[in-house]
Structure 1
Amino acid sequence: MPEIIVVATISPKPGEEAAVRDAVLAAIPQVHAEPGCGKYALHEATGDSTDLVMIERWESMEALGTHSKAPALAELGKALGDKLAGPLDVKTFTAVAAGDADKGSI
C-alpha cells in the first residue's frame, strides 16, 4: 500500500499570522505521536506571502483518516477559529519515485 503525501496550505488573515503559526506549532508534537505519521512538517512561504504549508506523509489512507478525526486536529481547528483568510487547501498524493531513491520522493 503506497504512503500518502499531503500538502496543506494555510492562509492566515492579515494580522493573524503569528497566532496561526503558533497554533499549528502547538499541534505538531501531538500529530507526530499519532499512528501512521511519517512526516508532519511546517513550512513558511518566502517573499510577500504569509501562507504556511504542511507537508505530511502518512503510511496509508486509513492512517490519514484516523488523523483527520484525532484530538490534535480538532483542537487545532478550534484554535484557528476565524483566523484564516479561507478554507485550508488540502491535497493528497502518492509518490512517483524517480532517480535517486533518497532524493526522488518525500
Structure 2
Amino acid sequence: MPVVVVATMTAKPESVDLVRDACTQAIEAVHGEPGCQLYALHEADRTFVFVEQWADADALQTHSTAPAIGTLFGTIGEHLDGAPDIKMLAPVVAGDPAKGQLRP
C-alpha cells in the first residue's frame, strides 16, 4: 500500500537560496530510489514542502536512511528555522476516486 508523506521545512531568511539549491540537488537521487513514486518540491516564501509517495513502508524506511537524505539534512540543518515537520498521511477518498487521491 502506498505511503504519502508531506515534509515541510522553513528556511532562515538569509538561507532561502541555499535550502532551495540543496533540495533540488537531492531530487534526482531520490527519484532513483526504489519505491519512489512521487517526490515533488513546492515553495512559498521561506517554506519548502516535499509531497512524496512511496510504494510501501519499506521503501519509505529505505529512503529515510539513503545517502541523498543524509547529505541534504547535513547541508541544510543549520539553515532551517526550526525542525522539519514530517507527516505520513492516509488518504480520505471522496468524490471521484481518480481525483480524490494520489495515484502511482
Interval of TM-score (by shorter of Structure 1 and Structure 2): over 0.9
TM-score (norm 2): 0.93
Q: Distance in 2 between matches of 1:103 and 1:68?
A: 28
Counterpart in the other structure of 2:39:
40
Counterpart in the other structure of 2:30:
31
Counterpart in the other structure of 2:57:
61
**Runs (5+) with no aligned partner, structure 1:** none
Which of 59, 76, 87 pairs up with 1:91? 87
The count of aligned residue pairs is 102
> Identity rate of aligned residues, in percent?
46
Counterpart in the other structure of 1:73:
69
TM-score (norm 1): 0.91
- 2:103 equivalent to 1:103: no
**Runs (5+) with no aligned partner, structure 2:** none
1:77 is displaced (CA, Å) by: 1.1
Q: Distance in 1 between matches of 2:24 and 2:94?
A: 32
The one-letter code matched in structure 1 to 2:46 is: T
> What is the DSSP-based 3-state SS (H/G/I as helix, E as strand, rest coil) of the residue aligned with 1:29?
helix
Indicate the RMSD between aligned Cα atoms, in angstroms.
1.0
